[in-house]
């Protein structure tokens, strides 16, 4: 047997062997995942979904919680590079400032997948795929509900206060822009005040208290970039002796169980869905990337809008 033939046969045999090795005996895929934090009900559901999908797929998940700080995410990504994980995934707390660390990942030939939030980078090849919602559209949907509500009460004008998400984050920037796009030029809808509540209940409550102090009964609508801030603000409205959902309409985004409970109590008027259950798609995309298969650059999520009238019917179907 010539050397070449033997080598070829050897190669064929090892290929056959590899094919015969059951999936669970092959080296498991290792994913380093840097999560934003634990700021909201949405985030808790998102983390659970990712951990659960990884466990079910036999993926070795290295999970790091950044406590809402970009510097912690940069550190986590650098440590994933040092550990030579197969794929890095992260949900970027803010949009900007990622070029350097993502170039380091690219130089180390470790593919990066973004989940949930987008980044602004000079070179789009710094990540392979972005899986997440269309936040601008969510903002538009929230505003469209309000436009429709106003049309049913044509004699009325509405003064709005806005609770923004984390400063510089994709969902805060986009939900603000989408909402503004729809109400701009509408003489019946006016934003009185707009400030960040950092996507948390505590901050939502605190900032709503300040809004109520300065604007008092001028406020007709609260638009919150997430349900948690809305729920915090609902408390502030009640403590000020007003009725949330009636004296002040409450419009928010996410569609978590807490929002459905508030709708059932008549305290929240509408929530625009933002699906946090991204785990299965993330793991599947990472597996494809690792196998050298092409993946879409942008993967979006299908979502609905839930006004209070449908809350009772929908509540039993909610998974988060
Ligand atoms: O809406 C909010 C969370 O990035 C879509 O982050 C996510 C947002 C979500 O804290 O509740």
Report the pLDDT value the prediction gives residue 2, as an integer from 0 to 100.
38
**How far is residue 115 from each of residues 100, 209, 228, measured CA to CA in Å?**
19, 33, 20
Distance 273 CA to ligand 1 centre (A): 11
SS3 of 103, please? helix
From the number of C-beta atoms within 10 Å of its C-beta (0-12, 13-18, 19+), residue 205 rates as buried
Instruction: Answer for the pair 46, 116: CB distance below 8 angstroms, yes or no.
Output: yes
Taking Cα atoms as reference points, which of 32, 33, 163, 170 lies closest to residue 93? 170
Can you tell me which atom of ligand 1 is nearest the CA of 135? 5
Taking Cα atoms as reference points, which of 42, 53, 118, 65 lies closest to residue 276? 42
CA gap 63, 222 in Å, rounded:
35
Distance 186 CA to ligand 1 centre (A): 28
Percent of the chain as helix, strand, coil, to the nearest 5: 50, 20, 35
In sequence order, what DSSP letters do the residues of 39-69 get, joined into one string? -SHHHHHHHHHHHHHHHHHT-EEEEEE-TT-
pTM of the model: 0.90
pLDDT (tens, 9 = 90+) of the chain, 320 residues, equals: 333 343 333 344 344 444 444 554 568 999 999 999 999 999 999 999 999 999 999 999 999 999 999 999 999 999 999 999 999 999 999 999 999 999 999 999 999 999 999 999 999 999 999 999 999 999 999 999 999 999 999 999 999 999 999 999 999 999 999 999 999 999 999 999 999 999 999 999 999 999 999 999 999 999 999 999 999 999 999 999 999 999 999 999 999 999 999 999 999 999 999 999 999 999 999 999 999 999 999 999 888 899 999 999 999 999 99
CA gap 38, 132 in Å, rounded:
18
Report the pLDDT value the prediction gives residue 292, as an integer from 0 to 100.
95
Residue bearing the CA closest to ligand 1, atom 8: 171
Distance 281 CA to ligand 1 centre (A): 18
Ligand 1 contacts CB of residue 254 (under 6 A): yes
Instruction: Answer for the pair 233, 208: CB distance below 8 angstroms, yes or no.
Output: yes
Ligand 1 contacts CB of residue 226 (under 6 A): yes
For tokens 């079910």, name the residue: 56
CA gap 60, 217 in Å, rounded:
54
Ligand 1 contacts CB of residue 274 (under 6 A): yes
Angle at 91 between CA 225 and CA 23, to 5 degrees: 135
Strand order in the sheet with 30-35: 60-65, 30-35, 87-90, 112-115, 129-131, 298-299
Ligand 1 contacts CB of residue 42 (under 6 A): yes
Ligand 1 contacts CB of residue 174 (under 6 A): no
Probe target for ligand 1 pocket from 175, 226, 303, with the most ligand atoms within 8 Å of CB: 226
Q: Which residues of 258-272 are buried (b: 16+ CB within 10 A; e: fewer)?
A: bbbebbeeebbbbbb
For each of the domains in the chain, give its residue range(s) and CATH number, in order of start.
Answer: 16-133+276-301 (3.40.50.2300), 135-274 (3.40.50.2300)
Can you tell me which atom of ligand 1 is nearest the CA of 254? 1
Ligand 1 contacts CB of residue 199 (under 6 A): yes
């Amino acid at each position: 047997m010539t050397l070449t033939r033997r080598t070829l046969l050897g190669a064929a045999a090892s290929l056959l062997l590899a094919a015969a090795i059951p999936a669970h005996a092959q080296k498991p895929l290792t994913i380093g995942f840097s999560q934003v934090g634990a700021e909201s009900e949405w985030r808790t559901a998102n983390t659970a979904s990712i951990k659960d999908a990884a466990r079910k797929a036999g993926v070795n998940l290295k999970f790091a919680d950044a406590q809402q700080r970009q510097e912690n995410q940069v550190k986590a990504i650098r440590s994933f590079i040092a550990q030579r994980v197969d794929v890095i995934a992260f949900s970027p707390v803010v949009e900007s400032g990622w070029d350097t660390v993502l170039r380091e990942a690219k130089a180390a030939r470790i593919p990066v997948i973004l989940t949930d939030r987008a980044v602004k980078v000079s070179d789009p090849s710094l990540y392979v795929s972005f899986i997440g919602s269309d936040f601008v559209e969510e903002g538009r949907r929230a505003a469209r509900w309000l436009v429709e509500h106003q049309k049913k009460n044509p004699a009325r004008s509405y003064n709005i206060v806005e609770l923004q998400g984390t400063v510089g984050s994709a969902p805060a920037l986009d939900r603000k822009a989408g909402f503004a796009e729809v109400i701009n030029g509408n003489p019946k809808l006016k934003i009185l005040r707009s400030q960040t509540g950092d996507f948390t209940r505590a901050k939502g409550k605190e900032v709503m208290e300040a809004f109520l102090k300065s604007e008092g009964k001028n406020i007709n609508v609260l638009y919150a970039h997430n349900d948690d801030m809305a729920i915090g603000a609902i408390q502030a409205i009640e403590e000020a002796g007003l009725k949330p959902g009636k004296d002040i309409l409450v419009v928010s985004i996410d569609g978590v169980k807490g929002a459905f409970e508030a709708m059932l109590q008549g305290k929240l008027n509408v929530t625009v869905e933002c699906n946090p259950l991204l785990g299965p798609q993330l793991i599947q995309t990472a597996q494809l990337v690792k196998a050298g298969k092409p993946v879409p650059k942008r993967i979006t999520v299908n979502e609905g809008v839930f006004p209070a009238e449908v809350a009772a019917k929908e509540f039993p179907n909610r998974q988060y």
